[in-house]
Structure 1
Amino acid sequence: MKLKLILASLTCGASFLLADMVVAPNTLPANAQGFIKQNFPTAQIMLVKRDLDSFDVTLNDGTEIDFNINGQWTSVDGKYKAIPTGFLGQAIVSKVKAAQPNAAIIDVDRKIGGFKFKFNNMMEVYTDMNGNVLGQKFDD
């Protein structure tokens, strides 16, 4: 019986360590803070959550940015509004926008070997790290 209680306590304790904790914005790695200042100069950080391997940041305009524990962005979600794309490089952006010329990029996720872009016309475009389009689909 005691063994079951100890195991239950350890399980609860371990799940607590894996849960998101709200932390102060200044606990973000310096490169994550720089990313926000450079790409969202007028935005303010409203909320930062940290777990074992990432930071989730919410800005005052609703944009959500995820960073890995080292401060490298992994996802930028404009919540249905256009996001800045300067952090991606002009060559990548021009190739992706050519795939959906009349739509705005509202979300980008870094994937292994490439990116997934979501547009305001509900299309998703998958690319390699150089922006070469690998596929597209309608996000239903």
Structure 2
Amino acid sequence: MKNIRKITGAFVLIFLLAGGFIFAQDRAISPNQLPKTAKTFLATHFKGITVGSAIEDREIYGVDEYQAYLANGMKVEFDSSGNWKEVDGKHQKIPYGFIPASIRNYAAKNFPNTYIVKIEKERWSYKAELSNGLDLEFDRKGNFRRIDD
């Protein structure tokens, strides 16, 4: 009897997980449909660069994130509210205006012949990729933690 409950529980769990994957979907949207916060971010930090396409990543519970693909090849990811999560310059120097000063200063001082090509903002940290391929980790306040390999 216990084995039947375990097997039934496993099937229910698999069904629920599979349902989540079935209902989760990406959907192309107009750049005008991005949240206002995201549009303001792009207009401020990527002035004059058009958004070629935008994607809305929907989950069962609603929108999880947005991605904006810029005409110059860069990609910007936003959370459901339109706050930036990741900026990927695709090996190009990204704008520095939104990057915390402590991160900008650390990179400039310790790696003077490089530039930041990608930055990710996570819950408790930042990760910055430099043009020389090094990945730097910082805490939420922008204090250097380590070189990630």
TM-score greater than 0.5 by the shorter chain: yes
The Cα of 1:16 is off from its aligned counterpart by 4.7
Segments of 5+ residues of structure 1 without an aligned counterpart are 1-9
**3-state secondary structure, aligned to 2:90:** coil
Residue 115 (structure 2) aligns with: 104
Measure the CA separation in 2 of the matches of 1:20 and 1:28: 14
CA RMSD of aligned residues (A): 1.9
Segments of 5+ residues of structure 2 without an aligned counterpart are 1-15, 59-63
1:37-116 matches, within 5 Å, as 37-52=43-58, 53-116=64-127
Measure the CA separation in 1 of the matches of 2:138 and 2:102: 12
Q: Percent identity?
A: 26
User: Structure 1, residues 65-122: CA drift from partner, whole Å, max 9, x if none?
Assistant: 0000100000000000100010123333112332322211000000121200001100
Pick from 18, 34, 40: which aligns with 2:40?
34
Number of corresponding residues: 129
Contact 1:104/1:120 (<8 A) preserved: yes
The amino acid across from 2:75 in the alignment is E
Residue 136 (structure 1) aligns with: 147
**3-state secondary structure, aligned to 2:87:** strand
The amino acid across from 1:92 in the alignment is I
Q: Which TM-score applies when normalising by structure 1? A: 0.84
Measure the CA separation in 2 of the matches of 1:113 and 1:12: 30
Q: Which has more radius of gyration?
A: 2
Distance 1:17 1:99, change over 3 A: farther
**3-state secondary structure, aligned to 2:147:** strand
The amino acid across from 1:94 in the alignment is N
The Cα of 1:131 is off from its aligned counterpart by 1.9
**3-state secondary structure, aligned to 1:48:** strand
- Name the stretch that deviates more: 93-102 or 37-46: 93-102
Pick from 130, 136, 148: which aligns with 1:119?
130
